[in-house]
């Protein structure tokens, strides 16, 4: 998709694809990441289309280029269509306007003009049989590889829910990090056999001393069939990340480099930083010792795994 046009019009756009387009457009226009100060938003429910194009045609004192978003929950009337057509034909280079419309008559002059100018965005929802291909494409977009069987299993489990696919891939990225290859076993562990949301919520609740919630999540995960040793591994992983976060913060690593230094995806940095204010590094090391002992007990004592896990979870989360 060309990201250099002065106008784009999306019709009944599927949310994930639309969000990706907007992110790519913002990256193209503002490679330094400062798009917020150059962005304006309008809604034709309360704003006039003249206001939209007045903003588009006004040179900003603070930005060489203005990005404008305009939504309409109804079809454009004839006057609005004419105004849009005029702007399409005469737009300058000082702005980009992105319209999100619910309807646009394909028989009309405006639709044909938009199609000819290649500024029509028709992000339709994919069919269920296309989702395996979507899983692969979305993984590649995140810098990951997903095995064919893993992509097929993910598609079978999720159906045609693109936002959910995005969410599951995000969780899988966190689960396998720093590895980049998603296997069938990863999907089985995080998406099919258990809910990745619950696993990460469980470890968060432990660290944040929310004992009752952590125990409830533990019982749910065990009832779902999540292996006890997998949970021990996830808790230990979380504690090691916190230790690396402490060490990076102690060395005053600049914020843009924290994710790489700690070895975590960038979107998780803020969460671990916050948790470092609720626990000490000394406690993290102590809890790792508790988990090592728990691991041995699970493998050797024959006591119920639920009982052993619950005791350790209580110790850490209290």
Q: For residue 79, which of 124, 48, 119 has the smallest C-alpha distance?
A: 48
The CA-atom distances, in angstroms, between 124 and each of 14, 16, 72, 156, 290 are 6, 10, 18, 20, 51
Residue 193 pLDDT class (50, 70, 90 cuts): low
Domain ranges in the chain with CATH number 3.40.50.300: 7-121
| Chain-centroid distance, C-alpha 13 | 18
Cα distance between residue 29 and residue 39, in whole Å: 11
pLDDT at 238 exceeding the cut of 80: yes
Q: What are the beta bridge partners of residue 96?
A: 67
SS (H, E, C) 90-110: HCCCCEEEEEEECCCCCCCHH
DSSP 249: H
Residue 283 pLDDT class (50, 70, 90 cuts): very high
Question: Residue 210 has which token pair?
Answer: 């929310």
CATH T-level topology, domain 7-121 = Rossmann fold (3.40.50)
Stronger pLDDT, 64 or 6, i.e. the higher one = 6
Question: What are the pLDDT digits (tens) for 97-123?
Answer: 999 998 888 899 999 999 999 999 988
Question: What are the pLDDT digits (tens) for 138-154?
Answer: 999 999 999 999 998 88
What phi, psi does 87 have (nearest 5°)? -65, -40
Give the pLDDT confidence score for residue 264 in this predicted structure: 79
Residue range 275-287: mean pLDDT, rounded? 93
Give the pLDDT confidence score for residue 32 in this predicted structure: 75
User: 3.40.50.1440, 1.20.120.1200, 1.10.8.60, 3.40.50.12590: which CATH number matches 128-192?
Assistant: 1.10.8.60
pTM of the model: 0.58
By CB atoms closer than 10 A (0-12, 13-18, 19+), residue 235 is buried
CA atoms within 13 A on the CB side of 48: 5
Domain ranges in the chain with CATH number 1.10.8.60: 128-192
Residue range 296-306: mean pLDDT, rounded? 87
pLDDT at 36 exceeding the cut of 80: no
Give the pLDDT confidence score for residue 197 in this predicted structure: 62
Give the three-state DSSP class for 1.
coil
Largest pairwise CA distance in the chain = 78
Give the pLDDT confidence score for residue 314 in this predicted structure: 93
Q: For residue 63, which of 34, 27, 22, 42 has the smallest C-alpha distance?
A: 34
pLDDT at 51 exceeding the cut of 90: yes
pLDDT at 159 exceeding the cut of 80: no
Q: For residue 19, which of 166, 196, 146 has the smallest C-alpha distance?
A: 166
Q: CA torsion angle for 230, 234, 235, 238 (degrees, to 10)?
A: 170
Give the pLDDT confidence score for residue 164 in this predicted structure: 83
Domain ranges in the chain with CATH number 1.20.272.10: 196-317
Stronger pLDDT, 37 or 119, i.e. the higher one = 119
Give the pLDDT confidence score for residue 1 in this predicted structure: 57
- Which residues are CB-neighbours of 305 under 8 A, at least 6 positions away? 222, 228, 298
Residue 281 pLDDT class (50, 70, 90 cuts): very high
Q: What are the beta bridge partners of residue 43?
A: 71
Question: Residue 291 has which token pair?
Answer: 């988990």
Question: What are the pLDDT digits (tens) for 194-234?
Answer: 555 677 888 999 999 999 989 988 888 888 777 888 888 88
Q: Quote the percentage of the chain above a pLDDT of 90.
A: 45
Q: Mean of the per-residue pLDDT values for the chain?
A: 88
CATH T-level topology, domain 196-317 = Zinc Finger, Delta Prime; domain 3 (1.20.272)
Residue 52 pLDDT class (50, 70, 90 cuts): very high
pLDDT at 3 exceeding the cut of 70: no
Between 1-5, 170-174, 304-308, the lowest mean confidence (pLDDT) is in 1-5
Give the pLDDT confidence score for residue 194 in this predicted structure: 56
Q: What are the beta bridge partners of residue 171?
A: none
């Amino acid at each position: 998709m060309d990201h250099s046009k002065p106008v784009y019009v999306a019709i009944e756009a599927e949310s994930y694809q639309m969000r990706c387009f907007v992110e790519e457009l913002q990256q193209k226009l503002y490679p330094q990441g400062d798009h917020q100060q150059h962005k304006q938003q309008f809604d034709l429910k309360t704003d006039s289309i003249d206001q939209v194009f007045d903003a588009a045609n006004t040179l900003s004192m603070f930005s060489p280029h203005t990005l404008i978003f305009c939504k309409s929950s109804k079809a454009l009337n004839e006057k609005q269509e004419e105004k849009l057509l005029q702007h399409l034909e005469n737009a300058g280079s000082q702005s980009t306007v992105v319209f999100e419309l619910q309807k646009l008559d394909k028989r009309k002059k405006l639709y044909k003009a938009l199609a000819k100018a290649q500024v029509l965005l028709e992000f339709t929802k994919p069919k269920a049989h296309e989702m395996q291909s979507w899983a692969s494409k979305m993984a590649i977009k995140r810098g990951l590889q997903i095995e064919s069987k893993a992509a097929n299993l993910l598609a079978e489990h999720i159906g045609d829910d693109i936002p959910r696919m995005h969410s599951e891939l995000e969780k899988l990225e966190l689960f396998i990090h720093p590895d980049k290859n998603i296997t069938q076993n990863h999907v089985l562990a995080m998406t099919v056999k258990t809910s990745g949301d619950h696993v990460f919520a469980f470890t968060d609740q432990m660290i944040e001393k929310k004992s009752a919630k952590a125990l409830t999540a533990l019982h749910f995960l065990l009832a779902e069939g999540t292996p006890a040793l997998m949970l021990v591994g996830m808790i230990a992983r979380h504690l090691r990340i916190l230790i690396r976060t402490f060490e990076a913060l102690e060395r005053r690593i600049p914020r843009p480099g924290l994710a790489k230094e700690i070895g975590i995806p960038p979107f998780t940095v803020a969460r671990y930083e916050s948790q470092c204010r609720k626990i000490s590094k000394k406690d993290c090391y102590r809890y790792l010792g508790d988990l090592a002992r728990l691991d041995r007990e699970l493998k050797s004592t024959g006591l119920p795994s639920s009982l052993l896990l619950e005791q350790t979870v209580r110790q850490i989360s209290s």
